């Protein structure tokens, strides 16, 4: 995989099979409290390390179902993500603040017609999440009952390295962890 990191110059990163797979398994299990036979949806493209780790390998190594999605999140309708969550009974929903800000522009009407009762954990990845977006995510997608796991990591790490854990916290808007 290639990443520019903080240098702005592309550099290649190679993850060894055993170490990377072990980290994908354990971090997916504990960061997201993922159990066997649950459904995880990481909306990252599989071309990104996030899509590899939490959209494919982590869930499958944990004997969970991975939802694979192709296309725009708001086409043909802006409620497309909510429909996928409800229809596939997604338990862990992991997405980027950019997508959430787009949905938040619609207000609460976007999520009201969907129960999304299957959700237990929400996750944020890719950039810092601002307080307004965090609160919208918690109130509207998580229905004020799902913790938001705000993750910090890089392509080089292969998984989340700073985040709060489910059941432990703290779950503070725009705050990854202590």
Over residues 89-135, the pLDDT tens digits come to 999 999 999 999 999 998 898 899 999 999 999 999 988 999 999 99
Q: Which pLDDT band, with edges at 50, 70 and 90, does 4 fall under?
A: low
What was the pLDDT predicted at 5?
Answer: 63
Q: Which pLDDT band, with edges at 50, 70 and 90, does 159 fall under?
A: confident
pLDDT digits (tens, 9 = 90+) for 7-61: 777 777 777 667 888 999 999 999 999 999 999 999 998 888 899 899 999 999 9
Alpha helix segments (H runs only) across the chain:
17-31, 49-52, 58-61, 80-88, 97-104, 109-112, 131-136
């Amino acid at each position: 995989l290639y990443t520019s990191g903080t240098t702005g110059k592309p550099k290649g990163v190679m993850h060894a099979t055993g170490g990377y797979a072990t980290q994908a398994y354990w971090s997916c299990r504990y960061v997201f409290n993922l159990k066997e036979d649950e459904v995880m949806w990481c909306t990252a493209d599989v071309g990104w390390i996030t899509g590899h780790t939490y959209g494919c390998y982590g869930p499958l190594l944990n004997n969970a179902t991975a939802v694979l999605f192709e296309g725009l999140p708001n086409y043909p309708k802006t409620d497309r993500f909510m429909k996928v969550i409800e229809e596939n009974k997604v338990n862990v929903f992991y997405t980027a603040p950019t997508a959430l800000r787009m949905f938040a522009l619609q207000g609460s009407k976007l999520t009201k017609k969907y129960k999304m009762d299957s959700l237990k954990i929400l996750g944020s990845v890719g950039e810092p999440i601002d307080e307004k977006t965090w609160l919208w995510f918690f109130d509207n997608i998580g229905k004020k009952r799902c913790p938001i796991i705000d993750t910090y990591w890089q392509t080089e790490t292969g998984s989340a390295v700073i985040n709060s854990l489910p059941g432990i916290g703290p779950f503070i808007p725009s705050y990854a962890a202590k």
